[in-house]
A and B are shown apart, each in its own frame.
Chain A
Amino acid sequence: MPAIAQQPGVTSKSIKIGAFGALTGPGYLYGQLVMNGVEVVFDQVNAAGGVHGRKLELVREDDRCDPAAAIGAVQKLIHQQKVFALIGGGCSNATLAARDVIETSKIPTLINASVHDGITTPPAANIFSAALTATIESEAQLDFALKQGAKRIAVISMRDGWGRGRYTPLMAYFKAKGVTPVADEELTPDANDATAQVLRLKAANVDAVIMVLYPKPAAVFMRDASKFAFKPLAIGQTGIADPKAFEEQVGIPGAITQFRTIAMVKFTPEDSAVDNWRKLIETKFPGDRLSVFNLVGVGSAQVFVEALKNAGPNPTWDSMTAALANIKDLNIDVYPGPISCSLADHRCNRVPAWLAKDPGKPVRVLPSSGG
C-alpha cells in the first residue's frame, strides 16, 4: 500500500473536504441535514474568496447509519476520493466503527453530530469533536434536575446506540452523585403510546424525568403524561433541540411548560438571529426549512474553516491537525459557549445552552443559573 501523501485533495484552486453520515434512512437528520449546513458555510467562504485563495468542495458519502457502510464511506473518501480532511459523523455506532480506520489513516477529522464518548475518549491524535458529547449532556441533565430541587428522579430512554451512549454515562453520574433513579423506563423511537410508562412514573411519584429520547417518543410521552395530569419537570437533551417544533409535535397546549432542554446550538430556527442562515439554506435547498440540524452543521463548519485558515497557506495534515488542536476560545454565533480544543481533550464544545418555551411566547434561553 503506498503511503498517503500529506496533502491529498489540495490543488492550487481548491480543497476537497469529505463528509460522512446518513444521507438515507432515519439517521439522515444527523447526516444529510447537518451536511447541508456545512455546505452553506463553505459557499459563504467561497464567495468571499475561499481559504488562502482555495475554494472548499464538500464531498458527501452515505453511511446509512450502518457500521459497515460507515467504514466503506470513510475508506472511499480517504483512499478513493483522496480528500484533505473529514467533517461529519452522524450515527454514533457507525462513527465508532469507522474510528479505527480514521485514526489509522491520520486524516484530520472534525466530528460534528455524533455524541458517543467512545469517539473522542481516549482521544485519537487526529479526531476532534464540535458536538456536545454524551457525558457532558447526561451530566448536565442530572445536575439541572438536582439544582431544581428534584427528589424523585426517573429516567426514560431509547435503547438504541444513541440512547445507550447517553444512558451509560447518566447512570454512572447518578452513582457518582449518590442518587438512585426512582424509575428506569424504555420507549422505542417509533412508539405511539406511552401509557404504561407514564402510569409507572406517576405511581412512583416522580417529580423530574430525564428523557433520553428523540422528539417523537418524547412527544408521545408528554402527550400521554398530560392525559393523566402528570406534569413533572421534563428534561430533554440535544436530540430535542427545538422547543417550538416540539410544542407542535406534542400538540396539547400547555403540555410543555415544565419542559427544559439542552441545545448544542443556542438559536432555534425561527429566531431572527439566524435569518441569514435561513435564507442561505432555503435558497440552496428549496423546499427545506431551516432546522437545528442545519445549524449544527453551520457551527461546526465555522470551527473547521477557522482551523483550516490557521493551518496556513500550504496546509498539510500535520498543520491542520495542529490547527484543530489549537483552537482556543473561538466564538461562533450559533454555539452558546466558546470552542476550545486541546491536545489532552479533543472535545471542543463543552457548554450546553438550556432552552424552554411557554405557550404563545418565543423560545427562551435560560440563564446559566437555571430556572
Chain B
Amino acid sequence: MAPFRRRNVLLVLLAIAIIVPPFANYYYLFVANLVAIYVLLAIGLNILVGYTGQLAFANAAMFGIGAYATGLLQVRLGWSFWLAFPVGGVIAAAVGLAISLPALRLKGLYLALSTLAFAQATQWVFLHWDAVTFGAGGFKTPPLSFDPLPISKPLGLYYLSLLLAVVLFLFAQNLVASRVGRAFIALRDSDFAAESLGVDLLRYKALAFGVSGFYAGIAGGLNSALLNFVAPEGFDLFQMVLQKAMIVVGGLGSIVGSLLGAGIIVILLEVLREVKGLQEIVFGALLVIFVLFMRGGLVGLLKRKVRGWEEPLRLVSRRVRPKQSETSQTAARTEKADS
C-alpha cells in the first residue's frame, strides 16, 4: 500500500484546499480561486486535445464567451448570477458544438488555424459589438453576494469554484473511463479505424468540442465573478498558450494531469513575479525545459518514478503528428508498434 497512491495525494490536496483558505490573506485566496478556474479550463482542453486529439485553439475564446455571457445576462437582462452562470456555460457549450461542424473535415494544423481564426473573430466581436458587449472598455458585473449564507464573497466564490472543480473533475474522470472516453481516444489515434468500427465521428467530435466548451464556459462565468469585470484582454492568444502549457506540463491525456498542470502554471506565474521584468524569459525557458525533460508531462514522470501512482489510461506518449502527405501513415504505424 504505497503512501503516494494517487488517490491519497489527491485527497490530501483536497483537504488543504478546503481547510486552509479561510486563514489565508486576500492575495492567496485570489490565487487559489484562479487555480480552481484554470483546473476547469485545463480539464476541458485536455479532453479535446489530449484525449480526442483535436489540435484546437479556441478554448480561450470559449472562456471569454462564458464570461461575457454570464456578465451580459446579468447586466443587460438583469438576471441573477445564479441563473446567468449555468446558462453562460451552456451557451459556450453550444458554441463549441457549432464550431465542431466545420471542424469535422479539418485535421492537425488546418484545424489549428481555423480554430485560431475563430478565436480572433471572437475577439473582434468582443471589441467591436459595442451595443452588446460594451466594446474594448469592458464592463463591471454586479457584485456577487452569497446571502443568506454567512460567508464573504471572496471566500464563498472560492468554495463555489472548488466545489465545481471537484464535481467536474470527477465527471471528467468518469467520462474518459467510459465508452465515450474510449471513443475519444479512438478518434485521436486513428479516426479511419474508429469509423470502420462503428464509432460515429461527428457525434463524438462534437461531444468533445461541446464538453470542453462547457468547462471553459463555466470557468468563464466564475472568472467574471472573481474579477467583477469582463474585458477582451484575458481571452486572447497568450491565454491560449497558458492553457496549452497547463495540459502539456501536467500530461496530455490525463485528467489528473490537467489538475496538476493548472496548479503549477498558475502558481508559477505568481512565483515569477519575483523576477520582475525577466518573467517572459524565465517562463519561456521553463516551458522549453518542461517539454524537453518531461515526456508525458508531470503525470508521466510520476508514473515512472513514484510507486503506486496508477493512471487508468495510456497517455499520448507516441508520435501523434499530423502529416501533410498521408503516405507517412505507415511510418507512424511502425513507430506505434515499436513503442
Contacts and interface: CB of A to CB of B under 8 A. Distances in A.
A6 interface: no
Contacts of A24: 277, 279-280
A168 interface: yes
Contacts of A160: 127, 136, 232
A199 interface: no
Contacts of B234: 66-68
Contacts of B279: 23-24, 62, 64
Contact of B25 (A28, A79, A92, A161): A79
A347 interface: no
Contacts of A78: 26-27
B20 to A, nearest CB: 14
B31 A72 contact: yes
Q: Interface SS of chain A: helix, strand, loop or mixed?
A: helix
Given A1-B25, A62-B279, A67-B234, A164 B137 contact: yes
Nearest to A76: B27
A250 interface: no
B273 to A, nearest CB: 6
A79 B154 CA distance: 14
A97 interface: yes
A68 B136 CA distance: 16
A61 interface: yes
Interface string B258-302: 000000000001100100110110000000000000000000000
A163 B30 contact: no
Interface stretch (B90-98, B179-187, B221-229): B221-229
Nearest to A32: B277
A96 B27 contact: no
B135 interface: yes
A66 B233 contact: yes
Most A-side CB within 10 Å, residue of B27, B31, B135, B277: B27
A303 B136 CA distance: 31
Interface residues of A, number: 39
B308 interface: no
Interface in A174-232: none
Interface bin, chain B: 20 to 34
A94 interface: yes
The dominant DSSP class at the B interface is helix
Contact of B34 (A68, A79, A92, A165): A68
B128 interface: yes
Contacts, number: 98
Contacts of A91: 233
A75 B276 contact: no
A67 B136 contact: no
Contacts of B137: 92-93, 96, 116, 118, 161, 164-165, 168
B233 A67 contact: yes
Interface string B136-153: 111000000000000010
Contacts of A127: none
Interface in A74-106: 75-76, 78-80, 91-94, 96-97, 100
Interface in A24-72: 24-25, 28, 32, 60-62, 64-69, 71-72
Interface string B205-225: 000000000000000000100
A67 B227 contact: yes
A309 interface: no
B103 interface: no
B231 interface: yes
A23 B25 contact: no
Given A62-B279, A72-B270, A161 B136 contact: yes
B197 to A, nearest CB: 44
B273 A76 contact: yes
B160 to A, nearest CB: 17
Centre residue among A24, A60, A116, A163 by max chain B CB count within 10 A: A24
A9 to B, nearest CB: 15
Given A93-B233, A97-B231, A62 B30 contact: no
B29 to A, nearest CB: 9
A161 B128 CA distance: 11
A69 B223 CA distance: 12
Given A60-B276, A75-B30, A79-B26, A159 B227 contact: no
A66 B230 CA distance: 11
Contacts of B26: 1, 75, 78-79
Contacts of A71: 30, 227
Interface of B: 25-28, 30-31, 34, 127-128, 135-138, 152, 223, 226-229, 231-234, 238, 269-270, 273, 276-277, 279-280
Shortest 3 CB-CB contacts between residues of A and residues of B: A75-B27, A164-B136, A79-B25
Given A66-B233, A76-B270, A94-B233, 10 more contacts: A1-B26, A28-B277, A62-B279, A72-B270, A80-B28, A92-B137, A93-B231, A164-B135, A164-B136, A164-B137
